[in-house]
């Protein structure tokens, strides 16, 4: 009888021990942050001397090396609000699609708390940022605590706690180490770039860690109140949700023959490049007095003659639709939604290869053909790439055509035709804006069409992004009405 009671009490005892340990950890990190805050607030001399000395040492080390500064800026961007908000937002939407509302709520509450703590404490302390001899980066607002350090430990830590059950047990410890190293690297770059003191970063880490532990244990108490078992934090917040947390649990292999497929793609890429090179050389240097040459000359001049201030602004907006940032943003939103709804990696591979292949084809062809831009005023100034083919148009067309290819066969709802409309309207708008702004000839537009047709067509035949539908399997364990309801 005593053994039975011990077994029944064991979960409660473990929960109590873990809760006490968590409470001690929270108190410790909170006390450490409070002490550091007080020392910064009163301007304690030894701390100020250490902060200033480290800032000067890093500036002397980093400033002369521009490649190092570039690397540090790239790492520090991983802790910036745009990337972290994108990660958390995509994760929240994916969790809602997978019907994991509790975990989505946890991410929202944890993220909002971090967003509120950072500016309020900076305003309270009012500490100025470091002043170094050779500034290599600029920061906005006050210095203590570091928003990058606080935000990165909260965002990446919360995402780790949510998705840790989807990681295989042998990879969980490396995943935890990876996140810890990433957070440390982001904080270190803030010091090395001269935009934060050491105490700013340490304060951000302490505050972020305390807030992360508070919200994690609040979630555990929430589970406890609802009669759910409370696992260790090293197992994630909801281990029973591991199937829904895995990106593509229903897919075993992306491609049946990876080596053969890779060889086909490389061979196809070379052939597509050859077709683009031949077409580009023809329209650029051998068209002579043909209709194509006349069109390439007169259309840019006609657009230049009809420019107005309003159309200049309008064309600028349309042109931005096809730049790298806009295309990357759409792809980074669409691909996680594909995983959340269809639970397949192959469509994501299709989109990724579409965009990487398009970029490589554009850069290689532009360099090989080296076509001058139209002989009109260029509203976008001098660009480093040549005119043929248009990278803006090709990227826009490839992306939206790929989306339409994926969406059309996977639902019979009326809105699927919107992807076809986007595949036509978006590239056309970008093409007109680029020609209006004097950056491309009409045949550059034709080159973008040729690139899209050949490259996307090749990928469709090799990758077969809709193969799961052709084999009669559904894109996810959920029935089709669920997909259409979520998407609608």
Average pLDDT over every residue of 361-372: 92
Boundary (domain end) residue, out of 245, 271, 290: 245
Total domain count for the chain? 2
Residue 179 lies in a domain: yes
Question: Same domain, yes or no, for 230 and 349?
Answer: no
pTM of the model: 0.77
Quick one: pLDDT at residue 486? 38
Residue 314 lies in a domain: yes
Question: Same domain, yes or no, for 196 and 59?
Answer: yes
Average pLDDT over every residue of 70-94: 88
Residue 252 lies in a domain: no
Output the six-digit token pair for 332: 């980074």
Residue 12 lies in a domain: yes
Q: How many CA atoms lie within 13 A of 158 on its CB side?
A: 32
Question: Same domain, yes or no, for 330 and 431?
Answer: yes
Boundary (domain end) residue, out of 214, 245, 276: 245
Q: In which domain, by residue range, is 275 found?
A: 258-487
Contact of 437 with 319, CB cutoff 8 Å: yes
Boundary (domain end) residue, out of 219, 245, 271: 245
Residue 253 lies in a domain: no
Question: Same domain, yes or no, for 238 and 287?
Answer: no
Question: Same domain, yes or no, for 264 and 240?
Answer: no
Distance CA(188)–CA(76), nearest Å, equals 9
**CA quadruple 458, 463, 468, 471: dihedral positive or negative?**
positive
Question: Same domain, yes or no, for 9 and 130?
Answer: yes
Residue 250 lies in a domain: no
Count of residues in the chain = 488
Quick one: pLDDT at residue 26? 65
Quick one: pLDDT at residue 451? 95
Nearest in space to 129 (alpha carbons), one of 119, 121, 141, 111? 141
Cα dist from 405 to 298, 387, 422, whole Å? 35, 28, 12
Q: How many CA atoms lie within 13 A of 148 on its CB side?
A: 30
Output the six-digit token pair for 358: 């398009």
Question: Same domain, yes or no, for 215 and 271?
Answer: no
User: Which residues lie below 8 Å from residue 50, measured CB to CB, with a gap of 6+?
Assistant: 198, 199
Question: Same domain, yes or no, for 233 and 363?
Answer: no
Concatenated DSSP letters of 149-162: HHHHHHHHHHHHHH
Nearest in space to 411 (alpha carbons), one of 487, 334, 332, 349? 487
Residue 138 lies in a domain: yes
Q: Does residue 473 have a pLDDT over 60?
A: no
Q: Does residue 356 have a pLDDT over 90?
A: yes
Quick one: pLDDT at residue 4? 40
Residue 99 lies in a domain: yes
pLDDT band of 79, cuts 50, 70, 90:
confident
Question: Same domain, yes or no, for 40 and 188?
Answer: yes
User: How many Å is the maximal CA-CA distance in the chain?
Assistant: 101
pLDDT digits (tens, 9 = 90+) for 1-60: 444 444 334 444 444 555 555 556 666 676 777 777 777 776 777 877 888 888 888 888
């Amino acid at each position: 009888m005593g053994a039975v009671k011990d077994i029944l009490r064991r979960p409660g005892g473990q929960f109590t021990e873990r809760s006490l340990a968590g409470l001690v950890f929270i108190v410790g990190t909170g006390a450490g942050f409070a002490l550091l805050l007080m020392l910064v607030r009163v301007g304690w001399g030894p701390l100020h001397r250490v902060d200033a000395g480290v800032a000067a040492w890093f500036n002397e080390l980093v400033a002369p090396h521009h490649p190092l500064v570039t690397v540090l800026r790239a790492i520090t961007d991983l802790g910036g609000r745009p990337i972290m908000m994108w990660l958390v937002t995509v994760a929240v939407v994916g969790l809602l699609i997978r019907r994991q509302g509790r975990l989505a709520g946890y991410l929202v509450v944890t993220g909002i708390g971090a967003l509120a703590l950072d500016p309020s404490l900076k305003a309270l302390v009012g500490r100025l940022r470091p002043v170094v001899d050779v500034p290599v980066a600029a920061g906005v607002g006050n210095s203590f605590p570091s928003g990058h350090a606080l935000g990165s430990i909260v965002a990446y830590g919360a995402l780790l706690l949510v998705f840790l059950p989807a990681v295989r047990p042998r990879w969980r410890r490396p995943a935890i180490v990876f996140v810890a190293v990433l957070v440390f690297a982001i904080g270190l770059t803030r010091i090395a770039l001269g935009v934060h003191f050491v105490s700013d970063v340490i304060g951000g880490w302490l505050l972020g860690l305390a807030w992360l532990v508070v919200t994690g244990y609040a979630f555990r108490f929430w589970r406890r109140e609802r009669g759910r078992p409370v696992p260790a934090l090293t197992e994630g917040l909801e281990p029973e949700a591991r199937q829904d947390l895995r990106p593509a649990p229903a897919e075993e292999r992306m491609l049946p023959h990876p080596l053969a497929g890779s060889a086909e793609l490389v061979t196809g890429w070379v052939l597509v490049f050859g077709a683009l090179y031949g077409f580009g050389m023809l329209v650029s240097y051998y068209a002579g007095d043909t209709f194509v040459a006349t069109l390439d000359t007169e259309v840019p001049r006609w657009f230049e003659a009809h420019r107005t201030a309003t159309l200049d602004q309008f064309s600028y907006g349309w042109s931005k639709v096809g730049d790298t940032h806009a295309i990357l943003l759409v792809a980074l939103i669409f691909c996680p939604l594909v995983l959340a709804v269809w639970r397949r990696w192959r469509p994501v591979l299709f989109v990724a290869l579409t965009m990487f292949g398009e970029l490589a084809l554009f850069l290689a062809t532009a360099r090989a053909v080296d076509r001058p831009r139209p002989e009109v005023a260029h509203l976008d100034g001098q660009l480093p790439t040549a005119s043929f083919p248009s990278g803006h148009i090709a990227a826009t067309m490839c992306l939206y055509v790929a989306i339409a290819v994926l969406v059309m066969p996977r639902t019979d709802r009326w809105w699927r035709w919107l992807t076809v409309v986007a595949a036509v309207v978006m590239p056309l708008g970008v093409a007109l804006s680029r020609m209006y702004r004097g950056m491309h000839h009409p045949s550059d537009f034709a080159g973008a069409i040729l690139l899209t047709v050949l490259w996307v067509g090749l990928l469709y035949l090799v990758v077969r992004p809709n193969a799961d539908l052709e084999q009669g399997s559904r894109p996810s364990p959920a029935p089709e009405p669920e997909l259409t309801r979520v998407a609608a």
